Amino acid sequence: MSIDIRVPALPESVADATVLSWHKQPGDAVSRDENLVDLETDKVVLEVPAPSDGVLTEVQFEEGDTVEADQVLAILDENATASAAAPAPAAEKTAETPATETEPVRTPAAETETEKSGEQPVLTPSVRRLVKELNIDASKISGTGKNGRILKSDVMKFLDKQDKNEHEQELEALRSSARPATELPQGARPEERVPMTRLRARIAERLLEAQQNAAILTTFNEVDLQAVMELRNRYKESFEKQHDTRLGFMSFFVKAAVEALKKFPEVNASVDGTDIIYHGYYDIGIAVGSPRGLVVPVLRDADQLSFGEIETTIKQFGKKAQEGSLSYDELTGGTFTISNGGVYGSMLSTPILNPPQSAILGMHNIQQRPVVVEGDIVVRPMMYLALSYDHRIIDGRGAVQFLVTIKQLLEDPARMLLNV
């Protein structure tokens, strides 16, 4: 019986998807729940598993094609015999011939690797692409994910064991869409045209949308993080023992932002046509870099989370971003965003709004600088803060006071406990 393999239901607000890569070709035998194809949407990569055992008889779309929900991707025949299985007897016959004629000499190490690769490694979609592009033998990588699934972090650990020079080249290849480097003649001026990934195209679209549809203005301030750093140093060991995660700066900024948003609800609002929507909840987006581009997973109901819960969730977001396993639900919504360019060394920037939100807070690098405190010149850990906001609904006065409130809360963290 033939079964239609259809595009699964796409997340809300996602109109279509791109066929990223086929893992089976016509004539290949497939097992139930085995991944047949990866579909890339604006936010996540979806896997389409086989509904039953059988043979893939027909593929309707090629890699790079755009598909919509419920379209037929391929046809699976439950009763057919795989064409790929036909050469099996020949393989058996070859195995019966003396090893001295055709078989290469196998070292014990090679036998071990062959035994280990008896089962096909389980890879996430992003890792499958990475392994293919870097030309790595996945059977040599030990998976630490669920059911032995190989994660991007496992690939990175594998690369760490290689020669240092090769390791640096592969890391650089990873940062530049994981394309293997090729030796070029001296004086060559190569160029390469590649299509944007759907995520990169979506980022570009949203940035242009923000620039064109909002009246963006940015206000700046600086904050003395001495009190926060003293708290971290005082409690970091006990905090890590209790919550199994480090006490970072981001939880302080999230808490301060939530308290400031309560005082200035227009900063937590969004524009819908000619209406202003005031949100009575605080879903804070945290901008995170990933191999596919910038993503913004959302801390739901951040006002109800403890410092430990915030740090743990952000740590999980970072790990999932590297693995490419963030869900669509984790990437949608949000009433306010925090972006930390300081982790890359940025001293000052003007962050762009994350539509339809009306404001975004930019954090930057912490530097020891001389400042005047009560008439004395002292050296303090200082950070520049930037608040970009939609001037259509947020007045300059409100934006400045919002940022000053965050500054005051961070310079005297006890305010966050006392609500003053």
As to burial, measured by CB atoms within 10 angstroms (0-12 exposed, 13-18 middle, 19+ buried), residue 47 is middle
Listed as own residue / partner, the contacts of 144-149 with beta carbons closer than 8 Å and 24 or more positions apart are 145/323, 147/122, 148/121, 148/122, 149/122, 149/123, 149/124
Scanning the structure block, which residue is given the tokens 């090893």?
99
Which SS3 state, helix, strand or coil, does residue 120 take?
A: coil
CB atoms within 10 A of CB 63: 12
Per the annotation, the verdict on 395 as an active-site residue is yes
Q: Can 329 be counted among the known catalytic residues?
A: no
- Catalytic hit among 33, 70, 160, 395: 395
One DSSP character per residue, 69-102 reads TT-EEEEEESS---GGGTTHHHHHHHHHS-HHHH
* DSSP code per residue over 126-166: HHHHHHHHHT--GGGSPP-SGGGEEPHHHHHHHHHTS-HHH
d(C-alpha 192, C-alpha 129), whole Å: 19
Strands (E), 85-215: 122-123, 149-150
The catalytic residue among 163, 376, 391, 412 is 391
Question: 32: which 2 tokens?
Answer: 């139930």
Q: How many CB atoms lie within 10 A of CB 299?
A: 24
Evaluate whether 326 touches 320 at the Cβ level (below 8 Å). yes
Tokens describing residue 142: 């030990």
Name the 3-class secondary structure at 143. coil
Q: How many CB atoms lie within 10 A of CB 80?
A: 15
Whether the CB-CB separation of 209 and 355 falls below 8 Å is answered with: yes
Q: Which residues are catalytic?
A: 391, 395
